[in-house]
Structure 1
Amino acid sequence: MGEYLEANGTTIWTESRGQGPDVLLIAGLGDPAEAWQAQLDGLSDRYRVIAFDNRGAGRTPLPGGPMSVAMMADDAAELLRVLRVDRAHVAGFSGGSFIAQELALGHPELVRSLVLMSTCARPDAYFRSVMRFWHWMTERAPSERAMLEAFFLWVYTPRGHADGTVDRIIEETLAFSHPQSVEAFQRQVAAFSSHDTFGRLAGITAPTLVLAGELDRVTPPRLGRVVAEGIPGAEFEVLPGEAHQPFQEVPDVFNARVDAFWREVDGGTLPS
């Protein structure tokens, strides 16, 4: 069930489902809470799963003034406090994984564990070039459909393009009643482009699982490995044959892996 909550000076659309240990899901560039639909559906039988729209995405407005990854991490922290969550298993993908890193660094008391999917410590030259292209692509694409078709070339596997998964996601995105504005997309691009935790990763103390898609072009496994090597005790895994968003393309695989990790962190069993 979704609701608007006041947190950190803005109004954040939040969806919470299920009961059990708290899980906070943080979406990436342009994505609303619905990006996590397969996790809201597939994990809420044993967890309280919380997803939300970041600033400028979905139903959460784009405030004036500068926007940064640290600011969005503060949004997530205040949201947990408003929801009276003492500590949560935090999972973020892509830009959401950047937010998750800053959350773990700035508000460690709130983070029970971290799952970082399709992540990096700071964008490399290739990633920065892609982000610059995305910035002007959203203005110059001949239609929203054309923009999504181009954008999703970096996001999904060739399999997903061939089997109808990408077509389905495009139709769902076009039908969504809260599309992201060009300005909001560009401001998120700018915020994520400036992400840099490279010299601070050792300060993350939460148990951490870093996942990378073997075929991910934007945040390839070598970038995820750097993150895992920088966080004390972090686990690192490559998902064979997957790209940037396996939690959508192979949700059963993703859900089973994070569930196993969270059970391990919680001592092998879920609290009753």
Structure 2
Amino acid sequence: MTGEMIDADGTRIWVERRGEGPDVLLVAGLGDPAEAWRAQLDGLSDYYRVTAFDNRGAGRTPLPDEPLTVAMMADDAAAVLRALDVRAAHVAGFSGGSLIAQELTLRHPELVRSLVLMSTFSRPDPYFRRMTGFWHWMVDRAPDERAMLEAFYLWIYTRRAHADGTVDRLIDEALAFPHPQSAEAFQSQLAPFATHETLDRLPGITAPTLVLAGELDLATPPHLGRQVAEAIPGAVFEVLPGEAHQPFQEVPDLFNARVDRFWREIDGRG
């Protein structure tokens, strides 16, 4: 993929763009650069102008001097859209990126034409806090980067993906990526995601919203996504049978077709 570093309200952010049509902004989650959305940049750009970017501390966008917050990253996403002269976009975020997308919609509603939240939540429960606490020290204490990814991906991908070689391929790609995330950057992103709360503010979202959950997701199980959907007026909630935390990577054709149908309904197209 090719991209460029842009000035987004004084912050240098790496952006990938593909295609022509209605604007779509893709917001990645913990540790992931824009390349996490490769199957969407490839698969949706025949019908949309698709933009993905590196959040602060991931890929080519550096960490700020001050502590990261979800609100800061949401403002970055807004600055990206404005720097690219996008008046409003269909916004899709997964995991930590879905939290950024929630905040983007709450803080800059005029920029969000519709909202897709994949593997999302609005208030951490005790299991989630303990899981993310383990991730925090795991990245320091794993014997090497491969071992860290092998452990981390146990929460992220299906048993199917671990058995059929998908996870091994993703780990090889992550290890070969020329802009790896440091342990400090991983922990700096994890901290605001692990304490994120929007449940009481979600009724303020007015954009058409689709909430998707993987049936087998260990990190953000379906009941957390259902809670989000029930708090957003008119939101649609769907569970993807047999899928885990990142079906947009494991079953991209299924994911792409579902979000395309949602966006076509919003755009009034057949």
Amino acid at match of 2:154: L
Mark the runs of 5 or more structure 1 residues left unpaired by the alignment.
Answer: none
**Residues 3 and 15 of structure 1 are in contact (CA less than 8 Å); yes or no, is this contact kept in structure 2?**
yes
1:202 equivalent in alignment to 2:203: yes
User: Helix, strand or coil for the counterpart of 2:156?
Assistant: coil
Give the equivalent residue in structure 2 for 1:22. Answer: 23
Give the equivalent residue in structure 1 for 2:225. Answer: 224
Give the equivalent residue in structure 1 for 2:172. Answer: 171
- Bigger mean CA deviation after superposition, 18-27 or 2-11: 2-11
Give the equivalent residue in structure 2 for 1:183. Answer: 184
Give the equivalent residue in structure 2 for 1:249. Answer: 250
**Residues 18 and 45 of structure 2 are in contact (CA less than 8 Å); yes or no, is this contact kept in structure 1?**
yes
Q: Aligned partners of 2:38 and 2:262: how far apart in 1?
A: 20
Q: Aligned partners of 1:125 and 1:195: how far apart in 2?
A: 13
User: Helix, strand or coil for the counterpart of 1:265?
Assistant: helix
1:265 equivalent in alignment to 2:266: yes
**Residues 8 and 74 of structure 1 are in contact (CA less than 8 Å); yes or no, is this contact kept in structure 2?**
no
Q: Aligned partners of 2:72 and 2:243: how far apart in 1?
A: 30
Amino acid at match of 2:101: A
Amino acid at match of 2:218: R
C-alpha displacement of 1:196: 0.6
Give the equivalent residue in structure 2 for 1:117. Answer: 118
**Residues 69 and 191 of structure 1 are in contact (CA less than 8 Å); yes or no, is this contact kept in structure 2?**
yes
Aligned pairs for 1:51-130 within 5 A: 51-130=52-131
**Residues 93 and 101 of structure 2 are in contact (CA less than 8 Å); yes or no, is this contact kept in structure 1?**
yes
Amino acid at match of 2:243: E
Give the equivalent residue in structure 1 for 2:159. Answer: 158
Give the equivalent residue in structure 2 for 1:38. Answer: 39
C-alpha displacement of 1:260: 0.2
User: Helix, strand or coil for the counterpart of 1:77?
Assistant: helix
Give the equivalent residue in structure 2 for 1:238. Answer: 239
Q: Report how many residues are paired.
A: 269
Aligned-pair identity (%): 76
Q: Root-mean-square deviation (CA), in Å?
A: 0.6
Q: Deviations over 1:168-206 (max 9, x none)?
A: 000000000000011100010101012110100000000
Q: Aligned partners of 1:65 and 1:78: how far apart in 2?
A: 18
Amino acid at match of 2:245: H
C-alpha displacement of 1:8: 3.5
C-alpha displacement of 1:123: 1.5
Amino acid at match of 2:131: V
C-alpha displacement of 1:9: 3.1
User: Helix, strand or coil for the counterpart of 1:190?
Assistant: helix
**Residues 120 and 224 of structure 2 are in contact (CA less than 8 Å); yes or no, is this contact kept in structure 1?**
yes
- Bigger mean CA deviation after superposition, 37-46 or 121-130: 121-130
Q: Aligned partners of 2:10 and 2:188: how far apart in 1?
A: 18
Q: Aligned partners of 2:10 and 2:138: how far apart in 1?
A: 31
Q: Aligned partners of 1:194 and 1:127: how far apart in 2?
A: 10
Q: Aligned partners of 1:145 and 1:230: how far apart in 2?
A: 39
What TM-score results when the alignment is normalised by the length of structure 1?
0.98
**Residues 117 and 210 of structure 2 are in contact (CA less than 8 Å); yes or no, is this contact kept in structure 1?**
yes
User: Helix, strand or coil for the counterpart of 2:60?
Assistant: coil
